Amino acid sequence: MGQDAAWGAAPAERADAARNRLHLLATARQMLAEQGADRLTMDALAERAGLGKGTVFRRFGTRAGIFRALLDDDEQVFQQQVLSGPPPLGPGAPPVDRLIAYGWARAVFLIERRDMARAALDGSQPVPTGPRTPMSHVHIRMLLGQLDLGGADLGMLVVQLAGALDGPVLLYLSSDELASTPEGVAARIGQAWQDLVERCF
Amino acid sequence: MGQDAAWGAAPAERADAARNRLHLLATARQMLAEQGADRLTMDALAERAGLGKGTVFRRFGTRAGIFRALLDDDEQVFQQQVLSGPPPLGPGAPPVDRLIAYGWARAVFLIERRDMARAALDGSQPVPTGPRTPMSHVHIRMLLGQLDLGGADLGMLVVQLAGALDGPVLLYLSSDELASTPEGVAARIGQAWQDLVERCF
DNA sequence: GCTACAATCGGGGTAAAGTCCGTTTACGGA
DNA sequence: TCCGTAAACGGACTTTACCCCGATTGTAGC
């Protein structure tokens, strides 16, 4: 077997493509920090990275795709802490405690990256919507799997709980609310999540 | 007091403006049904409605704004059924039963309008984000208010539960999943919601 | 009915997203 | 090391959302 994970896996990214992808992500992150999400245009990104616009679009498909890639990147680091950090977030604590800790951590994570996360939304679906299950879902499902839920629809429950965690930041809370007291909002989300979970499980 | 609801209310919409707004909404709804959300462009809408492009933008501010207006419109009808229909959805049943019934109804409502609802999303915030609280939140809050929740953060709990209901359709489920078995998905969301609520309250 | 004002209308203009295709380049095999 | 191929590159091109401002029109007050 080669490095490909499974049959039908991606046919191995070419070296220059990988280099450019990394370079574009780094440039995008820099521009995001300097100027904010709404000022980040594809043309500007391409120019600042010293690459063609076509390259940017082939890599990320969509403007939202760039922010999604950035977010995925951060989520991977986050997931490391979740999987290998100390309890109760990491392994070793009872599932319910881990679920609660996960909610607190995710709230902080998302609020810190609220601009990125919102810019990653994309009402259209044609190509950009990846069939990849978010890591967040995988983790919640894993924890719920260790609980006794009767005959509940685990798959849908996972998605609903993820919605309870992400919905406030992604959909409902205004940017003003999020910006004026980020830590306060994160704490409220975490606490409300804890109340909800303790009440349910 | 005049027709204005409160101090600082909108200075009364001019008659022609109102007529055009209604006409644009009707035209948009028609185009949405005929060609789908992604083929609905502002130019086409303006032309088909026999109005100028500028008019369309002044009315709705944004492309997403049109879909938001359409959705608001439908939600108002829906809310009527919720407020004055027969129990358990309407008044007369215990709060928990009404909450469960509301989840089922909302799932059906949202799935039937999934394209509209997704197109109404808009990652940007500057102008389009209205400070108006969605009717959905108002209603959930009303029902939760009748329950004993200890010292829980009612406001955030409402938003989280709304996220649990809307998140699947708006954020996570792929368009393919939604399109292939809409009724099935609605039923799963409704059932999972019921399980969650029964477990919590 | 008439007038002054303010809001609406209209459509041309700008900028940014996304597409296309001819050119260039990495990389596996001989 | 060289070659053939498939993938990546680049930037001109098209489409579309959104802005602007002079022309037009509804409405309150007389």
CA B84 – CA B194 distance, rounded (Å): 22
Query: Which CA-bearing residue is nearest the C1' of D9?
Result: A55
CB contact under 8 A, A129 and B174: yes
Cα angle: B153, vertex B158, B160; to 5 degrees: 95
Same domain, residue pair B141 and B177: yes
- The number of C-beta contacts closer than 8 angstroms across A and B is 133
B150-187 pLDDT tens trace:
889 999 999 999 999 999 999 999 888 999 999 999 99
Does some domain include residue A174?
A: yes
Does some domain include residue A73?
A: yes
- Nearest CB neighbour to B156, from listed A120, A121, A192: A192
Tell me, what's the pLDDT at A125? Answer: 59
Residue position matching structure tokens 């185009």 = B31
> How many alpha carbons lie under 13 Å from residue B62 in its C-beta half-sphere?
16
Same domain, residue pair A133 and A183: yes
Q: Does position A6 have pLDDT exceeding 50, yes or no?
A: no
Same domain, residue pair B55 and B79: no
Does some domain include residue B3?
A: no
Does some domain include residue B2?
A: no
Q: Does position B6 have pLDDT exceeding 50, yes or no?
A: no
Same domain, residue pair B53 and B103: no
Does some domain include residue A9?
A: no
How many other C-beta atoms are found inside a 10 Å radius of the C-beta of residue B187? 17
Q: Does position B127 have pLDDT exceeding 60, yes or no?
A: no
CA A99 to chain B, closest CA, distance in angstroms equals 15
CA B1 – CA B102 distance, rounded (Å): 35
Helix (H/G/I), strand (E/B), else coil: B141: helix
Token reading at B166:
């809307």
Looking at residue A115, its amino acid is D
Does some domain include residue B4?
A: no
Same domain, residue pair B71 and B21: no
CA A64 to C1' C6, in angstroms, rounded, equals 40
Write the Ramachandran bin of A153: left for phi over 0, alpha for psi from -120 to 50, otherwise beta. Answer: beta
| CATH classification of the domain holding B34 | 1.10.10.60
B112 in contact with A, Cβ within 8 Å? no
Does some domain include residue A2?
A: no
Same domain, residue pair B110 and B195: yes
B108 close to B191: Cβ distance less than 8 angstroms: no
* Protein-proximal nucleotides of chain C (any atom < 7 Å from a CB): 7-13, 15-21, 25-28
Whether B187 sits with its Cβ under 7 A from any strand D atom: the answer reads no
Within 8 A by CB and 6+ apart from A30, the residues are none
Number of domains in chain A: 2
Interface with chain B: mutation pick from A96, A160, A200, highest number of B CBs within 10 Å = A160
What is the extent of the structural domain holding A170?
64-200
Same domain, residue pair B163 and B147: yes
B53 close to B46: Cβ distance less than 8 angstroms: yes
Token reading at B23:
């006409």
CA A120 to C1' C17, in angstroms, rounded, equals 15
Q: A93 forms bridges with which residues in the sheet?
A: A91
Q: Does position B132 have pLDDT exceeding 80, yes or no?
A: no
CA A77 to chain B, closest CA, distance in angstroms equals 22
A152-190 pLDDT tens trace:
999 999 999 999 999 999 999 998 899 999 999 999 999
DSSP 8-class letter at A61: S
- Nearest CB neighbour to B159, from listed A131, A172, A175: A172
Q: Which of A6, A26, A60 is the last residue of a domain?
A: A60
CA A15 to chain B, closest CA, distance in angstroms equals 31
Tell me, what's the pLDDT at A5? Answer: 44
* Protein-proximal nucleotides of chain D (any atom < 7 Å from a CB): 7-13, 15-21, 25-28
Same domain, residue pair A86 and A46: no
A137 close to B172: Cβ distance less than 8 angstroms: yes
Does some domain include residue B190?
A: yes
Same domain, residue pair A69 and A133: yes
pLDDT tier for residue B12 given thresholds of 50, 70 and 90: confident
Same domain, residue pair B72 and B147: yes
pLDDT tier for residue A12 given thresholds of 50, 70 and 90: confident
Same domain, residue pair A86 and A164: yes
Same domain, residue pair B86 and B54: no
